[in-house]
Amino acid sequence: MATETQSHPFHMVEPSPWPALATLGAFVLAVGAIIFMHDGPPWIMAGGFLIIFYTAFVWWRDVVRESRSGFHTSVVQHGLRLGVLLFIASEVMFFFAFFWAYFDATIPAISKTAHDVWPPEGVIPFDPWGLPFLNTLILLTSGATVTAAHHAVREGDQKASVFWIGATVALGVLFLGFQMYEYGHAAFGFREGIYPSTFFMATGFHGFHVFVGVVFLAVCFFRARARHFSPEKHVGFEAAAWYWHFVDVVWLFLFVVIYWWGIVGYVGPLV
């Protein structure tokens, strides 16, 4: 519906193939992951990832075009913000499942199957004050830089917003590099018990969310360079900033619970 004939502030979205394609990608990814976990080839899972990444690209492209065309009124922007908040709430519950699995294995007061000794015998955990603490400082710093970028966008300072968004992306990439290095030096494998399983699932999915956040902010970086954001209209960056702060908070819980509290009482060697 053209804006000049529209009598309401809502955006009547044109028919789009991307929801159906995203569903197909998710299905292929899930089936491929199951096959891969049963020692099958990884190509089906990789195909699912490619479909999802392509869908995300073209879907975001269309949403940006809608915004630039004036369809994102204040009412639409409010709906987009609410949608982002609900999405982050669902992500909170997603990570809660991993924390609950960890607590179920470690706290006898809430589980009859909890281990009496944690980490289990034979597991050599990471030193929390080594690389994990460095990564904590990196993410906390990135939280400050994305906040500085948000203030710059709201003040209309295009040069500063580009700089601080770029700095946040760089810190996110640095975090991922250190996490990959950490995984490469782990003294335990994914299938070697409940400790490795909960450790890699929780920190690994967090790392994937950091990757998504880096991509999200990288898109915002190029949009900021193209002057897509204004003090009155920057929902795309606002969503990325909120998501990044969520990633920061989850990491703080991971560091405290898994890296630090999880080895209290452990007297053996550390990686």
Does residue 175 belong to any structural domain of this protein? yes
- Residue 142 sits in a domain whose CATH number is 1.20.120.80
Does residue 53 belong to any structural domain of this protein? yes
- Our measurement of the distance from residue 82's CA atom to the centroid of its chain's CA atoms, rounded to an integer in Å, reads 18
Q: The tokens of 62 are what?
A: 């269309």
pLDDT at 10: 77
Residue closest to 191 by CA, chosen among 37, 1, 54: 37
Assess whether 57 and 84 both reside in one domain.
no
Choosing from 8, 43, 71, the residue where a domain stops is 71
pLDDT at 5: 62
Assess whether 153 and 82 both reside in one domain.
yes
pLDDT at 122: 82
Does residue 66 belong to any structural domain of this protein? yes
Does residue 11 belong to any structural domain of this protein? no
pLDDT per residue rounded down to tens, the chain (271 residues): 444 566 777 777 788 999 999 999 999 999 999 999 898 999 999 999 999 999 999 988 998 888 887 887 888 888 889 999 999 999 999 999 999 999 988 887 777 777 777 888 888 889 999 999 999 999 999 999 999 999 999 999 999 999 999 999 999 999 999 999 999 998 888 878 888 999 999 999 999 999 999 999 999 999 999 999 988 888 899 999 999 999 999 999 999 999 999 887 766 778 7
Assess whether 176 and 221 both reside in one domain.
yes
Assess whether 43 and 158 both reside in one domain.
no
Report whether 244 contacts 214 (CB < 8 A): no
For the chain, the domain total comes to 2
Cβ atoms within 10 Å, residue 106: 21
Cβ atoms within 10 Å, residue 27: 12
pLDDT at 149: 96
Cross-strand bridge partners of residue 233: 230
Assess whether 91 and 161 both reside in one domain.
yes
Q: The tokens of 75 are what?
A: 């009412």
Cβ atoms within 10 Å, residue 168: 28
Assess whether 100 and 191 both reside in one domain.
yes
Assess whether 50 and 105 both reside in one domain.
no
Phi, psi of 18 (to 5 degrees): -70, -35
DSSP per residue, 212-225: HHHHHHHHHHHHHH
DSSP character for 127?
A: -
> CA-based angle 235:241:246, to the nearest 5?
125
- Residue 42 sits in a domain whose CATH number is 1.10.287.70
Does residue 9 belong to any structural domain of this protein? no
Does residue 226 belong to any structural domain of this protein? yes
Domain of residue 43 covers 16-71
Return the SS3 of 102.
helix
What CA–CA distance (Å, rounded) separates 194 from 115?
A: 10
Assess whether 170 and 131 both reside in one domain.
yes
pLDDT at 4: 56
Assess whether 221 and 190 both reside in one domain.
yes
What CA–CA distance (Å, rounded) separates 93 from 223?
A: 31
Does residue 164 belong to any structural domain of this protein? yes
pLDDT at 75: 85
Assess whether 90 and 201 both reside in one domain.
yes
Residue type, 236: G
